[in-house]
Structure formats: C-alpha cells, structure tokens
Amino acid sequence: MTEKPKRPQQVYTLVVEVGRKKGDGLPKGATGAALMIYASGVDEAEAVRETVAVLKEADLAPLDVTGYGTLDERIELGHEIEEDERGLMDKALAENAVIVAQVTPFFDKS
C-alpha cells in the first residue's frame, strides 16, 4: 500500500457569523457577531471544520462561514493585507491554530 503524499497546511481567511448562546461572551444587547478568523488546514473544508469545532467548544453558535481563501488567493483578488494580518496568518500556520483576529458584534437597530 502506498502512502498518499502529505499535503501541506495552509492558512485560510474565514468570516464566521455567530448567533447568541448563553456564555458566549458577546456584549449585552448584541444579536450576534461576525468573526474574522485565520485557520490552518490542508484545504478550506478542513479549516472550516476545525474553526466550527473550536467556536462551539468556546460556547459560540456558528451560523454561517464565508471563505476568502489563502494569502496567495487573496493577493490575486487584489486584497491589501497588512503586516499585522500576515503575522497572525504566520502564527496560525506555525501553531496549526484557529485565530480570531476581529470580532464585530451585531446590534438590532429597531
């Protein structure tokens, strides 16, 4: 039996929309939040699965995940990527981690 070649880990940029859940740590009055995340994986599907598992473990309620691709894919799309963002991506890759870079709470405007 031949072994499949091991695919290298890459870092994917994800935006995850979360709803409210008891103990989620979101601000009082928030209806949910958007989380900008850098997650490592051999492909985007693995990065998404790992991210959702970590968020559930942290008492968050993931509702929707949008993938924005790898660093190279984002550069090809014309995204400007700041040095601090690249640093977080490097950290996610080095630590095989899911890093929440930004949390934007949602509030009901009615």
- Per-residue pLDDT in tens (0 to 9) along the chain, 110 residues: 566 677 889 999 999 999 999 999 999 999 999 999 999 999 999 999 999 999 999 999 999 999 999 999 999 999 999 999 999 999 999 999 999 999 999 998 76
Q: Is the full-model pTM beyond 0.75?
A: yes
Cα torsion for 71, 77, 81, 86, to the nearest 10°? 0
| DSSP conformation class of 20 | -
- Which residues, other chains included, contact 91 with Cβ-Cβ below 8 Å and sequence gap of 6+? 38, 97, 99
For tokens 């014309």, the residue is 78
Q: Residue 79: helix, strand or coil by DSSP?
A: coil
Among 39, 33, 42, 32, which residue's Cα sits nearest to residue 14? 39
Q: Report the run of H or E that residue 67 belongs to, with start and end.
A: strand 61-70
**How many CA atoms lie less than 13 Å away from 10 in the CB half-sphere?**
17
